[in-house]
Amino acid sequence: NAGVTQTPKFRVLKTGQSMTLLCAQDMNHEYMYWYRQDPGMGLRLIHYSVGEGTTAKGEVPDGYNVSRLKKQNFLLGLESAAPSQTSVYFCASSYFDRKPYEQYFGPGTRLTVT
Amino acid sequence: DQQVKQNSPSLSVQEGRISILNCDYTNSMFDYFLWYKKYPAEGPTFLISISSIKDKNEDGRFTVFLNKSAKHLSLHIVPSQPGDSAVYFCAAGAGNNRKLIWGLGTSLAVNP
């Protein structure tokens, strides 16, 4: 099992460019999450999904969109990147009922917006 | 307003001794608490958890203690090993929404 994988690992964008971060999990988890981690801010939830075709906003959703067309994939989109979106992005997934709070994380995507 | 607080940004411990990492919370609705460990350039990995109906949970060298009246939990690592050097995050959840609230982390250094 690969667990949770994220693509790409690194990316540099110019202000105003767009990109999509891909998260894939092979554990058949119902829940998936996107976080960002910034120095001194801990992990903050951007968006999450409780199942295929459903998404919901987290703490810091502005400037991001998500889609979950397949159960195993969760995409995070930046339509018009801003320097404030420079961060490390983590995807995570979890079961709905078995140990529901235990989230499994991907290795992260380091994004720099210049 | 931080609902989960880890007041010590860093901790240094000698190999073989006990490491104690602390976490305080403000929301009495939290009913599940977790500790995650994170190495540089990797995602957090789950370490140990505790439900609010318990006051202690043990897994090998790791023990988590929960004091609900004080809204405080702690992670004990005994004995500490150099490989335990990492950032430790405390997280809490409430009800069925499956969202976790995270502390800012404590960087643990275990010195040989």
The per-residue pLDDT for range A26-56, each reduced to its tens digit, is 999 999 999 999 987 789 999 999 999 999 9
Q: Do B41 and A100 touch (CB under 8 A)?
A: no
Q: Do B34 and A102 touch (CB under 8 A)?
A: yes
Cα(A69)–Cα(A15) distance, integer angstroms? 28
Q: Do A105 and B100 touch (CB under 8 A)?
A: no
Average pLDDT over residues B77-104: 91
Q: Would you tell me which residues 22-81 of chain B have a C-beta closer than 8 angstroms to some C-beta of chain A?
A: 32, 34, 41-46, 49
CA atoms within 13 A on the CB side of A22: 8
Average pLDDT over residues A6-12: 96
Residue B1 predicted with pLDDT over 80: no
Residues of B in contact with A92 (CB under 8 A): 43
Which residue of chain B has the CA closest to A95?
B98
Residue A20 predicted with pLDDT over 90: yes
pLDDT digits (tens, 9 = 90+) for B40-68: 989 999 999 999 999 999 999 999 999 99
pLDDT recorded at residue A89: 98
- For A56, A95, B53, the CA distances from A29, given in Å and listed in that order, are 16, 5, 26
CA A80 from centroid of its chain's CA atoms: 17
Residues of B in contact with A98 (CB under 8 A): none
Shortest alpha-carbon distance between residue B104 and chain A (Å): 4
Residue B99 predicted with pLDDT over 90: no
- Do A88 and A109 meet the contact criterion of CB atoms below 8 Å apart? yes
Q: Residue B73 carries which DSSP code?
A: E
Nearest to A95 by CA among B52, B46, B62: B46
Q: Do A42 and B34 touch (CB under 8 A)?
A: no
Residue from A60, A99, A103 whose CB has the most chain B CBs within 10 Å, to mutate: A103
Amino acid, single-letter form, for residue B58: E
- Do B69 and B90 meet the contact criterion of CB atoms below 8 Å apart? no
Q: What is the mean pLDDT of chain A?
A: 94
pLDDT recorded at residue A19: 96
Q: Do A40 and B89 touch (CB under 8 A)?
A: no
pLDDT band per the 50, 70, 90 thresholds, residue A63: very high
Nearest to A23 by CA among A78, A76, A86: A76
pLDDT band per the 50, 70, 90 thresholds, residue B19: very high
